Each structure stands twice: as structure tokens, then as C-alpha cells.
Structure 1
Amino acid sequence: MSSLLCKSFLFMQRKSPCPISHSTTVNTTRARLRGVVFDMDGTLTVPVIDFAAMYKAVLGNDEYRRIKAENPSGIDILHHIERWSPDKQRKAYGIIRDFERQGLDRLRIMPGAVELCEFLDSKKIRRGLITRNVKEAVDLFHLRSGIMFSPALSREFRPCKPDPAPLLHICSTWEFQPNEVMMVGDSLKDDVTCGKLAGAFTCLLDEKGRYSLADFNNVDVEPDFKVSSLSEVHSLLEANFDLMP
């Protein structure tokens, strides 16, 4: 096991460094933060894909209801269809790509994203991106936002979130330890789990208040921070971390 992976494994065994909090919380001891890694859909971009409709189109109504009942924290459609035959997989990925292409036509940058990135740049904090969407969507996001994230990993990088591999890859590329990085995303199942398994700090973006304490009971992790908008992340970082390049 690599030293980076070993250190991240040891870090993930420790209790979360601070409870779920809002950006007004101030901690007496500040951890060093050198990089922030973002999810894309629903975090850096306004959510436009009807995931329930996409899952139903891929799985069928009856199978969708069955799997949803067995997975209250959310369906991992990419992991699910990996078990299918090659022909069935191709059809499933075709349906998913159709939904994603429709989403590209309506792509909009999340309010506060540009300002947050400018703040990170002013502090010389690195910015990365991990998405389960395709590279085409990442390229379009870079073009429309005028902001570049590096590394920017799409689902062509395997394994996908919630596996910690993409986040550990970014930490290795930056030559940072995972506990010097924060993962920000709108999915408890994918983004927060990925961050926690890697040993990073985590921030859950919950714009519409769809997550409650009951949701945290359905998974083995909970975020270190929870915000309702990207604009809150700015003050959260300043209040809780030593921001050091």
C-alpha cells in the first residue's frame, strides 16, 4: 500500500474532526487546507438532469422502485449496470448519455461558484473537480464558466465516486495529504462518502434542505460541514481553516 493511501486510511479511522456545522461556526484549532475538490452537477452547475426519470428509463419502473426501496440513500446506477451483459450495458449507457446531452443544452453555472473560485485563487488554494458525468460535460463547463479545474476527472476515470480513488489521485497529483483537502458536493452517497473514505474534509451542499439527520443514519458517514449555498463556503473556510498554498 502506498504511503499516501496508508496515511489516508489511518485518517479515515479517526472521528470526524468537527460536527456538521454552518459557515458561522468557528473552531479553536485550525487545520491546514491547501486544496478544494468539487463535484460538478448540482454543485458547480445548477442541477438540470431528472435523475429519477433517467433511472426509470434505464431500469424500468418496477426495477427502479425495488432498487430504490433497497437503497434509501440513493441509487448508484453506474455501479448497478456494470453487472449487466455488454449489450445491455451499451443500451443503458446510451440512455444515460441522451439525458446528459439534454442537460448540456441547459447547463448553467451555480450562483456563487465564480466568486468562490476567485477567493480560492486569491489564497492560492488549488481547485480540482470529480464528476460522474462525461468528459464532454466537463469541457463544456470549463468553456462556459471560464474557470479551469485541474485535475478534472470525469467518469472515464475509474473507479468512480463514491470510491475514494479519484480523490486520492488528485491528492497524489498535487502532492498533498488527503487531510489537507476538502471535498465539496451535493451528494451524501457519492461526494461525502468519497471524501470521507479518502480521509479528506467534506462539505455537503444542500440547497433545498433535502437532507436531514435521518438521512445520515442511512449511510456510514456524515459531512464535516453542511451549507445551503456556495456563497457560504467562503466564510466557512476562513473561519475553520488555515488557508495555506
Structure 2
Amino acid sequence: MTLSLMPPLNLLPLKFLSDTLMLKPSRAFFKSFATTMSVQSSSNPIKSRLKGVVFDMDGTLTVPVIDFQAMYKAVLGQDLYVSIKSNSPSGIDILHHIEQWAPDKQQKAYEIIADFEQQGLDRLQIMPGAAELCGYLDSKNIRRGLITRNVKSAVDLFHERFRMSFSPALSREFRPYKPDPAPLLHICSSWEVQPNEVMMIGDSLKDDVACGKRAGAFTCLLDETGRYDSPEYATVEHKPDYKISSLSQLHLLLETNFDLTP
């Protein structure tokens, strides 16, 4: 037995029969449909609130001048470098490896790193678009922080030379350092915001993106040359939410995807 919700035809109003059988919706139907479509098309998806941006320094706020590949080879030696590189597609965490060594070997390694870093400081340049981006963030009352695996003296020189202020600005003296989420969580706590209200931006998958993802923040990878488009990075554990090729692209990305109201 089949039940039907349609009343017998002889009980239906003539106008309903005409509209239904001729497949001709009424004028009221069109008006209702148009109103509904107008509301749906004008509605916008809810954007996530963004209250702060945390930057890496070397290669993000400053032009990359340190030859990290040469530094890694000088510290590790050619054979160990090749072995570690083959098992670490997203990059080598040189500081992690040094921590496992004997004190005298550690000291020599840190001296090599310090020499490379000093050479980088002598050629320190601000990244194109960085100053304009900071001005834009200031205009939106969005906080700016900094996390680097470089030393505090390098951060102090950066602030002094380019007269930019990032607070908190955490160097590798803050332990544990990137890619551990601790420094980013520390900044969120000092700002009294949630990690999902913050974006971490940097040029390293293994350090910056991993730190941001582990903390629960949004992440943006600065990839000027497109090197992370290589197939070797397709299977890395932590992938960025966004990717840009220059800092000048970030303000449009933020406006498009986030609620920036104070």
C-alpha cells in the first residue's frame, strides 16, 4: 500500500493545478526564490580572527646571506652531512645534532656556526617589503613577534640597524628553540591570545612551519625561489597553510583570509 501526500486533483485549487501541471511557477514563487538567492550570494564565509604575526628573522625579515649548506658541511663533515640530508627531506636541524655531542666537540661546532653567523651580520640587509608590511600590521593593530635560532646579539643588531620593533623577540638562548612550539606558545601567552589567533611566517619547513603547526597556529611559508615545490618536499610532515614568494604578498593574503578588526 502506497501513501500519497498529494490531495485528489478535484480538491486542488484551479490556480495550483495550472501552475503545477504546466510547470509554471507563480510570480510569488519567483519573488521568494530571488530573495533567497540574493541572501545566499551576498553572505560571506566567516573569517578567522588574527591578532598577531610572528616572524622568523634570517631569510624572512632579512635577506638570506648565510650559506647554510656550507655551514652544515663544515660542522658535520661531508659524509655525515650527506647521510643526514638523505633522511631529512625538510632540512637539517644542526643544533639538535650538536646537542648530542661531547662538550669539546660541541664547542668547536658552535665556533664554526658563530663564524658563519658573524659573516652574515656583516652583510645584513632588510628583506624587500618588510618595512611596508610592518607599517601595514601597525595600521591594523596586529602585534609583531620574532623567533629565531640565531643569537641574541644578532636580534639586537637587527632592531638597532633597521629600527623595527618585534616583541617578544626570542633568540636561540630561549630553550627549547624552534621547531619546538614552546617559543611560539610563550609569545601567545605573553600577548594573552590563543595560538589559532596567530600566524607564524618563515622560510623553513623544518623550523618555522613545524613550530607553528605544533603550536596550533596558522602558518605561512616564504618561498622566494620556489624550491619547496620540489617533489622531495611532497611528503614532509608539516605543510604550511599558505605560501608566498615575497613579503609584499602577505598583506593581501591577510585581508583576504582573516578578520583583522581590532
**TM-score normalized by the length of structure 2:** 0.82
Structure 2: gaps (5+ residues) = 1-43
**Structure 2 counterpart of 1:154, from 171, 174, 177:** 171
The aligned residue for residue 187 of structure 2 is 170
- What is the aligned residue count? 219
Aligned residues with identical type, % of pairs: 75
Residues 1:54 and 2:71 aligned together? yes
CA distance in 2, matches of 1:101, 1:83: 24
Amino acid at match of 1:159: P
Counterpart code for 1:146:
R
More helix by share: 2
Q: Take 1:81 and 1:30, find their aligned partners in 2: how far apart are those partners?
A: 42
Distance 1:62 1:216 in 2: 22
Q: Deviations over 1:155-194 (max 9, x none)?
A: 0001110100000000000000000000000001110010
- Contact kept, 8 Å, 1:202 with 1:225, in 2: the verdict is yes
Could you say what secondary structure the match of 1:109 adopts?
coil
2:81 paired residue among 47, 54, 64? 64
Q: Give the drift of 1:69.
A: 1.1
Residue of structure 2 in register with 1:91 after alignment: 108
The structure whose RCO (Cα within 8 Å, separation 6+) is larger is: 1
**Counterpart amino acid of 2:259?**
D
Tell me the distance in 2 between the aligned counterparts of 1:80 and 1:206.
25
Matched, 1:228 2:245: yes
Alignment deviations for residues 143-164 of structure 1 (CA, whole Å, 9 cap, x no partner): 1111110000000001110100
Structure 1 regions of 5+ residues with no counterpart? Answer: 1-26
The AA in structure 2 aligned to 1:96 is: I
Distance 2:261 2:103 in 1: 47
Structure whose alpha-carbon radius of gyration is higher: 2
TM-score for both structures, normalised by structure 1: 0.87
Distance 1:165 1:109, change over 3 A: same
Q: What is the Cα-based RMSD across aligned positions, in Å?
A: 1.1
Work out the CA distance in 1 between the residues paired with 2:141 and 2:162.
19
